[in-house]
Amino acid sequence: MLVARTAKVAVNSTPELAIFRDFSPALRNALESVQCITYYPAGAVLFVESQPSRGVFFLSRGRIKLSVCARDGKTLILRVVQPGDALGVGAAVGGRTYEATAETLEPCEISFIRPSDLLRLMSQYNELAMRMAEYLSQEYNSTCRELRSLMLSESASERLARLLVGWLDTNGDTKHRGQMKLTLTHEEIAQMIGTSRETVTRLLTGFRKKQFVQRHGSTIVVCNRGALESLITA
């Protein structure tokens, strides 16, 4: 059974979240008084789609996948949440159910705030209300980009190329240009681009044979970014 460890922890004791950056000392103290830090193992489910909102999850360490499931059982991974990001803001602020399922991909450290506490602090601190509004706007724009990428790409190879280039821009190794860690399975990659695991395996093999990419364990080296970008037409 997956067990989460919970503790009250000061905001300043964890890596600063981008969404909380530059808050006033008063607001930081207020957040400290209502948040809980929880440690989750890999494979833990934070919430499932259509579940009533329990609160907002702010990721300090680790990675989380957000996915939706169709009636036929097919799963689509919407995105992989990185440290500094938040989950469940829209559901908490709007009093709605969660629109996706969140599952940890690796051990995670997460700050949790209940909807009632978040809304109360938003009413008291304009800076928090503005930051939440900014976040919702960014989340909307990100979702539109992902849908555009999925719906307007004509082939699985184009969708995979777009995914790899996007990952390189956002999660590339700053010390080694063109490199990035790829810890998702072929099945999970397939769920991100709307295809099958077998297709992902075949495409990655083809990319390696053409010297577009190389793989060393969990490290992907993009040898020919231009070739990958040439596959992207939309």
Residues 6+ apart with CB under 8 A from 132: 89, 93, 118, 122
Query: Is-above-0.75 flag for pTM?
Result: no
Q: Which domain holds residue 182?
A: 153-230
Final residue belonging to a domain, choices 130, 151, 172: 151
> Among 120, 151, 182, which residue terminates a domain?
151
Could you read off the pLDDT of 74-128 as tens digits, one per residue? 888 888 888 888 999 999 999 999 999 999 999 999 999 999 999 999 999 999 9
What is the predicted pLDDT for the residue at 93? 93
Shared-domain flag, residues 215 and 123: no
CA pair distance 180, 165, nearest whole angstrom: 10
pLDDT in tens, 165-195: 888 877 766 566 788 887 788 999 998 888 8
Angstrom distance (rounded) from CA 141 to CA 133: 12
Structure tokens at 181: 């860690």
Residues 121 and 178 in one domain: no
Q: Are residues 208 and 137 in the same domain?
A: no
Q: Tell me what pLDDT residue 22 has.
A: 83
Q: Are residues 119 and 161 in the same domain?
A: no
Q: Which region holds residue 59: left if phi is over 0, alpha if psi is between -120 and 50, else beta?
A: beta
Measured from the Cβ of residue 129, the count of other Cβ atoms closer than 10 Å reads 16
The DSSP letter of residue 102 is E
C-beta pairs of 120-126 under 8 Å, 24+ apart in sequence: 121/27, 121/30, 121/31, 121/34, 122/93, 124/30, 125/24, 125/26, 125/27, 125/30
**SS3 state of residue 192:** helix
